[in-house]
Amino acid sequence: MQRIPRDQSVFSFSPQHAPVAQCTSGDVVVFETFDCYSNKITREDQVVRPSGWDNTNPATGPLYVTDAKPGDILKVEILQIQLDSQGTMRAGPGSGALGHVLEERKTKIIPIRDGKALFNDKLALEVNPMIGVIGTAPQGEAISTGTPGPHGGNMDCKRITKGSILYLPVHVPGALLAMGDVHALMGDGEVVICGLEIAAEITVKVQLLKGSKLPLPLAISGGQAITIASARTLDEAAVQATEMMHDFIRKALNMDPQEAGMLLSIVGNLRICQIVDPLMTVRMEFPLWILEKYGYVLP
């Protein structure tokens, strides 16, 4: 099993990045990851001001997948997420949805013990490790690891966790997969621009799909098929995620557009992933059992 050390990381998804490792379809690979602050914050007296997206969210990689060509799909199965012993959070003026009401900056170090985040002396919260940044290289200009998009990236979707599957597009030879920004716990919205940021080891199985057509990025998690879209506003992202799922189920279930829309309106659920990145991210969840009822099998 191949292992990529965390110091082999990038701050953008780009076709110009030289791969730091190579695998073939079906291989299992371990990505060692920094937290989003590159493990530089270790004490609560380190009150660090926001420094922009250019040096935030290091993503370990990129990994070159042999025989991956533009138009293929990369299927990434999340086998395990092993967390470090403590995580970090920050909040303060100008940060996220509450930046206009917070007057002071604060750093909080949160220990992880026996699967729980010890938030304070009263709250021990069950961890739910998830991957904030995961994606492939775009075909054109580099995209910061702070920005989500059709390539994946900083989607901050809490459904991307152990046991889930993520389908990503291949835009360049080798796909150039990279990932990082793990959270021990994060609520939908990530309202102060951080979850419980933590270093981790992510074990994934990478498979190459040829000739498949899926809405991308697409996640499979918790019995749901999940389309993920990012846009300038939440409204735009919500419409895009809904259109992606509508087109998918219309074809997969062989339904007319009206019936597919009505079905989506009664069993589909729109959820906010995050509202704090350069683009907003929304997901549409649709029950897998309905796809199975119609005999549709995901590749």
CA distance 295 to 290: 9
Which pLDDT score is estimated for 58?
Answer: 97
Same-domain pairing of 251 and 145:
no
In a domain, 238, yes or no: yes
The residue that leads in pLDDT, 255 or 1, is 255
Question: Which tokens is 162 given?
Answer: 């152990």
Percent of the chain predicted with pLDDT > 70: 98
| pLDDT band for position 52 (cuts 50, 70, 90) | low
| pLDDT band for position 49 (cuts 50, 70, 90) | low
Same-domain pairing of 196 and 265:
no
Residue 219 predicted with pLDDT over 80: yes
Same-domain pairing of 136 and 74:
yes
In a domain, 299, yes or no: no
What's the whole-number mean pLDDT along residues 18-22? 98
Which pLDDT score is estimated for 44?
Answer: 92
pLDDT tens track for 110-140: 999 999 999 999 999 999 999 999 999 999 9
Weakest-pLDDT range from 101-105, 204-208, 220-224: 101-105
Same-domain pairing of 176 and 280:
no
In a domain, 298, yes or no: no
Which pLDDT score is estimated for 55?
Answer: 77
For the chain, how many structural domains are there in total?
2
Among the candidates 209, 232, 260, a domain finishes at 209
Which pLDDT score is estimated for 94?
Answer: 85
Residue 75: which CATH number?
Answer: 2.60.120.580
Among the candidates 182, 209, 236, a domain finishes at 209
Partnered with residue 225 across adjacent β-strands are 220, 286
Residue 214 predicted with pLDDT over 70: yes
In a domain, 157, yes or no: yes
User: 170, 174, 192: which is closest to 183 by C-alpha?
Assistant: 192
In a domain, 48, yes or no: yes
Domain that holds residue 28: 2-209
Same-domain pairing of 167 and 235:
no
pLDDT tens track for 146-170: 999 999 999 999 999 999 999 999 9
Which contiguous run of DSSP H or E holds residue 249? Answer: helix 234-252
Which pLDDT score is estimated for 206?
Answer: 98
pLDDT tens track for 249-280: 999 999 999 999 999 999 999 999 999 999 99
| pLDDT band for position 38 (cuts 50, 70, 90) | very high
Same-domain pairing of 282 and 141:
no
What's the whole-number mean pLDDT along residues 13-21? 98
| pLDDT band for position 50 (cuts 50, 70, 90) | low
Pick left, alpha or beta for residue 258 (phi over 0 → left; psi -120 to 50 → alpha; otherwise beta).
alpha
What average pLDDT is seen over the chain? 96
Question: What one-letter code names the amino acid at 244?
Answer: M
**DSSP secondary structure, 83-137, as one string:** E-SEEEEEE-TT-GGGTTT--S-EEEEEEEETTEEE-SSS-EEEP--EEEEEE--
Same-domain pairing of 15 and 162:
yes
In a domain, 204, yes or no: yes
In a domain, 242, yes or no: yes
Q: What is the pTM of this model?
A: 0.97
Which pLDDT score is estimated for 46?
Answer: 84
Same-domain pairing of 65 and 190:
yes
Partnered with residue 286 across adjacent β-strands are 225
- The CA–CA distances, whole Å, from 151 to 5, 209, 230 equal 23, 16, 10
